[in-house]
Structure 1
């Protein structure tokens, strides 16, 4: 019997027609057998604040999604050479669980669409955050897309065959990596 890998995908862009959401939608609709991908909605997540004693419903739902996931896909733009605030904020909320129970030891894939270098600098910074929260990102294959070079349509949907192949390869690697980490 094949073990299902439950993946939570988080997009650092809140735009409906974001090319980064397009990458995640493509991944969701092309998940390999034995993998399910749920895309989190970060639009209503307030900035993390330790003074909030009772998290709002949107945060409670997001934390439950983190807890149910075996692995993650992080997709997002590069803001000022770094991670977008929405993605970092979601990780900040999840990292506050006792004993890092929502993140620790889980596999992750990182992808992104941005300018000429894709989102390489943001992905590098995200890897640094992953070290602290004990999330284990794939080393390869990497997915970097140029959001402004005809690789996406006007609605943010991925159209480039080379990037599509890269996403599929990354999903297969994520499934294997997640199973290896869960042994």
Structure 2
């Protein structure tokens, strides 16, 4: 296998969100090709699906998942759970043909302003992912707390403990992708 392809999914739509910065840091440490997903899509609506089918952005995301060798998801924590944007994308992908997540190596990370670093969002995301049967890595856990103080002006992590944990996680994901 040549260099594996990593799909990065940020649960935040903001261009300069901490979670977007974190998936880019993960990609830098992964040693592979990187594609960043776009979660701009309509809210899931069964009537919309009946009338028009799965929207192009959701189908594109499903194809990106299926074609990637591994996926890294970084979720913000909104009201003690994963973001609505991310849950919406998961719901739409579940409506596509095939099973793009099945047996796919997936790592979950988070960056949040609070001191728990998005731990509850990671837990809720793991629960939301269970029906899709991916190969979820269990660690090391990476939850960047107080994220506003953990990235420099270039968007790079500055805390050596977070860098070490993220490096270990990406090495594990890379090894799983080559399996």
> TM-score under structure 2 normalisation?
0.87
Q: Give unmatched runs, 5+ long, in structure 1.
A: none
Partner of 1:137: 136
Deviation at 1:149, TM superposition (A): 5.9
Deviation at 1:47, TM superposition (A): 1.3
Report the Cα distance in structure 1 between the residues aligned to 2:129 and 2:171, rounded to whole angstroms: 20
Deviation at 1:132, TM superposition (A): 1.1
Deviation at 1:157, TM superposition (A): 4.0
1:37 is aligned, of 31, 34, 50, to 34
1:98-117 matches, within 5 Å, as 98-99=97-98, 101-114=99-112, 115-117=114-116
**Aligned partners of 1:13 and 1:77 also within 8 Å:** yes
Larger displacement relative to structure 2 (102-111 or 140-149): 140-149
1:29-108 matches, within 5 Å, as 29-32=28-31, 35-42=32-39, 44-51=40-47, 52=49, 53-99=52-98, 101-108=99-106
Deviation at 1:86, TM superposition (A): 1.1
**Aligned partners of 2:6 and 2:27 also within 8 Å:** no
Report the Cα distance in structure 2 between the residues aligned to 1:25 and 1:18, rounded to whole angstroms: 11
CA offsets 1:41-74 (integer angstroms, 9 cap, x no match): 21x2111223223333323322221221122111
Partner-residue secondary structure (3-state), 1:74: strand
Q: How many residues align?
A: 175
Partner of 1:153: 152
CA RMSD of aligned residues (A): 1.9
Distance 1:170 1:118, change over 3 A: same
Q: Give unmatched runs, 5+ long, in structure 2.
A: none
Report the Cα distance in structure 2 between the residues aligned to 1:157 and 1:86, rounded to whole angstroms: 24
> TM-score under structure 1 normalisation?
0.85
